């Protein structure tokens, strides 16, 4: 089955929520809180109480940034694939209604099952 990917991100570490808040403070609603944050070099992914926000840093200087917002209410399904013996990353995919598939590759030492449980609580 071919999947048309909307975007593909990789993350290698969990971020301190308060330290990463400044990057998206202006995008957050008054009653929105960051619950988890992940990063890889320049790109970042935040899980808030209302949505997933992904920041794609572009260009050599990194001054151009694209922010993508995926409200939980628009996520129709998701999959979690744990790392294998020869595959060092875990894969997390969400299907967003009317948009497509968004994929995050998690470094094998990060707890992908924690993300799956978290998203289950948001969607079910």
**pLDDT per residue as tens digits for the range 66-101:** 899 999 999 999 998 887 766 678 888 999 988 889
Helix (H) or strand (E) holding 2: none
Whole-angstrom Cα distance, residue 46 to residue 48? 6
Q: What is the CATH architecture of 5-123?
A: Roll (2.30)
Whole-angstrom Cα distance, residue 57 to residue 59? 7
pLDDT value at position 1?
43
pTM across the whole model? 0.86
31-57: average pLDDT: 92
The residue ranges of DSSP E strands in the chain, in sequence order, are 5-11, 13-14, 34-40, 43-48, 51-58, 64-71, 75-81, 89-96, 100-107
pLDDT value at position 105?
84
Question: Given CA atoms 117, 32, 58, 76 in this order, what sign does their dihedral have?
Answer: positive
**Structural domain boundaries in the chain:** 5-123
């Amino acid at each position: 089955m071919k999947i048309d990917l909307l975007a593909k991100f990789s993350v290698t570490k969990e971020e301190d929520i308060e330290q990463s808040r400044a990057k998206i403070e202006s995008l957050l609603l008054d009653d929105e809180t960051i619950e988890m944050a992940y990063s890889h070099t320049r790109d970042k992914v935040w899980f808030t109480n209302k949505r997933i926000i992904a920041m794609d840093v572009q260009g050599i200087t990194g001054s151009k940034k694209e922010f993508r917002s995926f409200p939980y209410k628009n996520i129709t399904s998701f999959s979690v694939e744990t790392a294998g013996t020869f595959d060092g990353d875990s894969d997390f995919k969400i299907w967003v209604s009317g948009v497509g598939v968004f994929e995050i590759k998690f470094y094998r030492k990060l707890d992908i099952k924690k993300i799956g449980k978290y998203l289950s609580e948001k969607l079910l």
